[in-house]
Amino acid sequence: MAEVLPVWVPDAFELADLELLLSGAFAPLTGFMGAADVESVTARGRLADGTPWPVPVTLTVPAEVVAGADALVLQDPEGVPLARLTITERTPHGDHLTLAGPVEALSTPEHGPFRRLRRTPAEVRESLEAEPLVVTARGPIDSPEEITALAEELGAPIVLMPLIFGEGGPAVVRASLAALDKLPAGTRVVAVPLAPRDDLTLDLELREHVAAAYGAAEHYAAPEPAVIPGPPHRRGLTVFFTGLSGSGKSTIARGLHDALLERGTRTVTLLDGDVVRRMLSSGLTFSRADRDLNIRRIGFVAAEVTRHKGLAICAPIAPYAAVREEVREMVEQFGDFVLVHVSTPLEECERRDRKGLYARARAGEIPEFTGISDPYEEPDDADLVIDTTNISVETAVNRVLDHLVTRGWVR
Ligand SMILES: Nc1ncnc2c1ncn2[C@@H]1O[C@H](COP(=O)(O)OS(=O)(=O)O)[C@@H](OP(=O)(O)O)[C@H]1O
Ligand SMILES: Nc1ncnc2c1ncn2[C@@H]1O[C@H](COP(=O)(O)OP(=O)(O)O)[C@@H](O)[C@H]1O
């Protein structure tokens, strides 16, 4: 019988690293690193065997995914199996494991913008008559004369290598294609999915290694692009309300929604707790797992709205800090995130008991009711905290609106 292996979808950063491990661009690495290599690379910039290598290349998965398995299939987000990882080492990190071991390709990725410009190092080396000048870039190629002069001096063909990752990737490729006009005939463009490392020196060193794998006679690193975020009123934004049932989330969220529509300066999507429960999340319960899934779904939609430069307003209870943090991270990939804690105390929410749910929860008719028989983790990272006990709805809405106007998100 065919072996049934567990499957896992690595995050975007790990998937980019995986592609380079499989293509040979990360040679001599052939798989994800184990603890000894990670420690050695971090301390000395060398693998445990002494080979120079600048940064860790690791894969982390929830421990339960690989319980009892000695191999794992790595898939892309659409479910295409990309590689088989033979697990040679597992290092615990809380309830996750960092897995080490060699990877072996199961299929060739076919999708993604400018996929036709991807080449393995072997393909590029074979196709060139001489070792090239490899120009890696994360932004525009702003010194074509200098690159041309260097290539002439070396007598080398030029390989322009846009390093693509995330939303900005296609723009980097377009910038390289646009530069072809100003570079010698025969210059080619090879797109490489190299995820950027935070430490610029190490990032540069990694670029050197990748260029070397592509057979570079010399590596020219195009300067880092200046990152100028757009003005706040043009950036996407998610305003995320959290608080107990009856605290006032929906009321304030609707008031904010209306106020923004009246101003007419932004497009707004309201993802109210109850509405989401009927539409996106119908069928889910109030167990921790289902609440987390509900919040992740809301976060996914809010992140998409934010990516398209819209303004998303979310108003679920969202009682758990960890998944609120996940949503913040999902949204901040594309824009800004404001957390509003509607901190109206339980006594006041229970006194209001608009839907009679607290009475039923006290009577034991609703199990796992937030604040009564289920936890609410107070945020310690809220941008605004609003207790609605003694203020009007209008005042509460204006506090949020004033915050958005003061910070420039709304005009
Ligand atoms: N067990 C339990 N605990 C809390 N709330 C309950 C429960 N059962 C039903 N309800 C009703 O569902 C609304 C909360 O749904 P949310 O999607 O916002 O909750 S969560 O964020 O997924 O925890 C909440 O609505 P709001 O009052 O608007 O907050 C309740 O009306
Ligand atoms: N300042 C205020 N802001 C929001 N709601 C308020 C305020 N003062 C009183 N309320 C009342 O509190 C209740 C809050 O209910 P709701 O907005 O549905 O809460 P949640 O969405 O958090 O469950 C409403 O009946 C609302 O009229």
Q: C-alpha angle with apex 403: 402 to 408, nearest 5 degrees?
A: 95
Q: What's residue 404's pLDDT?
A: 98
Q: What's residue 20's pLDDT?
A: 98
Asked if 386 and 248 touch (Cβ cutoff 8 Å), the reply is yes
> Does ipTM come in above 0.95?
yes
What is the per-residue pLDDT across 63-112, written as a single tens digit (0 to 9) for each? 999 998 999 999 999 999 999 999 999 999 999 999 999 999 999 888 88
Range 30-55 average pLDDT: 97
Same domain? For 209 and 303 the reply is no
Residue 227 maps to a domain: no
Same domain? For 319 and 357 the reply is yes
The domain boundary, picked from 105, 137, 171, lies at: 105
Q: What's residue 117's pLDDT?
A: 97
Is 245 annotated as contributing to ligand binding? yes
Band (275; pLDDT cuts 50, 70, 90): confident
**By alpha-carbon position, which residue is closest to atom 2 of ligand 1?**
369
**By alpha-carbon position, which residue is closest to atom 26 of ligand 1?**
245
Is 249 annotated as contributing to ligand binding? yes
* CATH classification at residue 61: 3.10.400.10
What is the DSSP secondary-structure string of 42-89?
HHHSB-TTS-B--S---EEEEGGGGTT-SEEEEE-TT--EEEEEE--E
- The total number of residues shown for the chain amounts to 411
Same domain? For 125 and 259 the reply is no
* CATH classification at residue 199: 3.40.50.620
| Best probe residue, ligand 1, of 244, 250, 274 (max atoms within 8 Å of C-beta) | 274
Q: Which ligand ends up closest to the CA of 279?
A: 1
Phi, psi of 282 (to 5 degrees): -65, 140
Same domain? For 248 and 209 the reply is no
3-state DSSP assignment of residue 386? strand
Q: Is the dihedral of CA 8, 12, 18, 23 positive or negative?
A: positive
Q: What's residue 178's pLDDT?
A: 97
The domain boundary, picked from 221, 243, 276, lies at: 221
Same domain? For 216 and 279 the reply is no
Residue type, 5: L
Q: What's residue 71's pLDDT?
A: 98
Residue 1 maps to a domain: no
What is the per-residue pLDDT across 108-166, written as a single tens digit (0 to 9) for each? 888 889 999 999 999 999 999 999 999 999 999 999 999 999 999 999 999 999 999 98
Is 250 annotated as contributing to ligand binding? yes
Q: Which domain holds residue 162?
A: 115-221
Distance 280 CA to ligand 2 centre (A): 23
* CATH classification at residue 331: 3.40.50.300
pLDDT at 1 over 60: no
Distance 292 CA to ligand 2 centre (A): 23
Distance 344 CA to ligand 2 centre (A): 9
pLDDT at 227 over 80: no
Distance 356 CA to ligand 2 centre (A): 14
Average pLDDT, rounded, for the chain = 96
- What is the atom index within ligand 2 of the atom nearest the CA of 395? 1
Band (2; pLDDT cuts 50, 70, 90): low
The domain boundary, picked from 77, 105, 133, lies at: 105
